[in-house]
Amino acid sequence: MFDGSSSHCLVGKFFTNSTPPSAADTEQTLRKRWVLSGDMTVKKLDDGHTFLFEFTQKNDKEKILKWRPYNVNGVLIVIKDLNSSDTIDFTSDSFLVAVVGLPLYLCTDDFLPTLQSQVGDNNAVFLGTSNNNRFIYLRVDLDLKKPLRPGFYIGQKQNRFVGFKYWNLGDFCYNCGMIGHVKGNCVHLPLGRALNATSVTHVYGPWLRHSHVETSCQIGLVILPNDVGECEKSLTYPQFCIEVEFKMLAVCNTITESATRSISRFRFPCSCLYTETESTDFTTTSKAYEVIRREIYEKTPSSLGYVIVRHMPDVTESLVEELKLIQKDKFSCDDKWLTLQLQIILQYHLTHVDHETLLSIFRERSIEREIEFLIKKRVEKNENLLSLSSWEDQIREVISEMGFTRYMHHSYVSRRANKAMLEAIQIEISSIRCTVPADKTTVCELERFKVLGPDMDRLDPCVICTEEMFLAEEATSMPCCSHVFHRSCIEKWFQVGNKCPLCGFMLPSQK
């Protein structure tokens, strides 16, 4: 039963200068969007633009207020709490705003007041950053009587644009940026801004919406030559070794930017292709789907995870069917091991504006990788790590050599040089604390063996590289503790210390 209390009620009003959606569309859309834990009644008020929502559960009301704004068929509906004030203002609403393309040197608490003023709300709340630090999220109260703020320019020459993306924005005018009417009702000419050094774009467009980027996924499976020799005879059951390579393509019309991600491997028993298992909803599926879904998801770089999850059913189904064909046509009776390369190509289809933003992010990450390499090099050469001016000069040189001089802001160089100096000093201190390298003769005398079929099921993954033990690889066994590692991994480990990575058992140190 509804208790009739206003504490369980919200009121919503469409912000539009045209005919609002019908009551039936409004209720159907919002019920689907809100996913309520209790029940709700919807009452249309006299003006036709306003609705009263009454809930059985208080937590439903709180959740709805938290995740504003909402739209029905693209038309913004402003949701307010009846208890918020005596007079309810439907000309403002709370938006989740992502700040896109902000340089790393400005991603600090000191820059938050500037962000608040640029987005038009000095009380905007900082909510954090995305997993890959591409976005900064703010909760902002927007004045709907004013145009949307598309972003702002930064840099010494004001030549870099930092954009705003609005969550659940709905329809707005691409000419003047006003919510509530579309382009056909606007008398203003579209505004323009510089997109890059050679072209101009409109200020307002679909890129102001924070929505999932259109993506597509392609897979390719190639048979690679085996190099396991006699070790293959030791296998107890036939299996595939699948190398996974991720490739990301940013596509903007005819322009394509690519980046290849890390390569990893996993073993896949052929028997899984025809083994059925009962899932949690009591339906019977092939075990192959389970194994491949788990392995690919675990190997996926975190920045690509949400895209892979979205396309996982199609990828899994295609891969299982192709493995069945290969196993039937290419896997001879004498074979028990077949090496395959699985290439997963993820395509991001972007507007020109988002493509330019993505290029800026790629360039900054490239600069960061080169600076990290510079830090390691200076530590290894034991250069003067305390000279801040030297760090600044070398970072400017790195940026100049990469051709990214537009990123050579004094503020960035100064901040990054100071951070690089502190990172280098910390590495130096850590290296001093390390034990001396292990005795080379003792390391050479450690037990070594080639991984055979039974070993792959018996041995745990190497904790140094976290990879499994694969057929025909060389492994090293420690004395006393008997822990096993890849030979190349443990030999590199003993070049800087003399303790077992798992239990701390000590080898004689180098004299």
Cβ neighbours of residue 390 under 8 Å, at least 6 residues apart? 383, 384
Question: Does residue 170 carry a pLDDT above 90?
Answer: no
Using a CB cutoff of 8 Å and minimum separation of 24, what contacts does 148-153 make? Answer: 148/172, 148/177, 148/178, 148/179, 148/204, 148/208, 149/118, 149/119, 149/120, 150/177, 150/193, 150/203, 150/204, 150/208, 151/100, 151/101, 151/118, 152/118
Question: Does residue 284 carry a pLDDT above 70?
Answer: no
Question: Does residue 492 carry a pLDDT above 60?
Answer: yes
Question: Does residue 1 carry a pLDDT above 70?
Answer: no
User: Residue 4 — pLDDT band, cuts 50, 70, 90?
Assistant: very low
Question: Does residue 184 carry a pLDDT above 70?
Answer: no
- Tokens for 456? 């792959």
**Which residues are 247's β-sheet partners?**
260, 345
Instruction: State pLDDT tens for residues 293-317.
Output: 888 888 787 667 777 777 888 888 8
CA 491 to each of CA 101, 115, 483, 509: distance values in angstroms, whole numbers, following the listed order: 42, 50, 14, 14
User: Residue 256 — pLDDT band, cuts 50, 70, 90?
Assistant: confident
93-107, 197-211, 254-268, 488-502: which range is least confident on average?
A: 254-268
Instruction: State pLDDT tens for residues 351-391.
Output: 889 888 888 877 888 888 899 999 999 988 888 888 899 99
CA pair distance 264, 245, nearest whole angstrom: 7
Arithmetic mean of pLDDT over the chain: 86
334-338, 340-344, 481-485: which range is least confident on average?
A: 334-338
Instruction: Determine contact, residues 246/297, Cβ cutoff 8 Å.
Output: no
CA dihedral 117, 120, 126, 130 (to 10 degrees): -110
- DSSP alpha helices (H): ranges in 120-226? none
End-to-end CA distance of the chain: 82
**Which residues are 100's β-sheet partners?**
135, 163
Instruction: Determine contact, residues 141/91, Cβ cutoff 8 Å.
Output: no
User: Residue 241 — pLDDT band, cuts 50, 70, 90?
Assistant: very high
Q: Which residue has the higher pLDDT, 255 or 454?
A: 454
The structure's pTM equals 0.74
Per-residue confidence (pLDDT) for residue 93, from 0 to 100: 94
- Tokens for 470? 């694969």
Mean pLDDT of 6-30: 88
Cβ neighbours of residue 403 under 8 Å, at least 6 residues apart? none
Looking at residue 332, its amino acid is: S
Instruction: State pLDDT tens for residues 85-121.
Output: 778 889 999 999 999 988 777 777 788 899 999 999 9
Q: Which of 476, 450, 469 is nearest to 231 (CA)?
A: 450
The per-type count for the chain, helices as H runs and strands as E runs, is: 11, 22
Per-residue confidence (pLDDT) for residue 472, from 0 to 100: 93
Per-residue confidence (pLDDT) for residue 391, from 0 to 100: 94
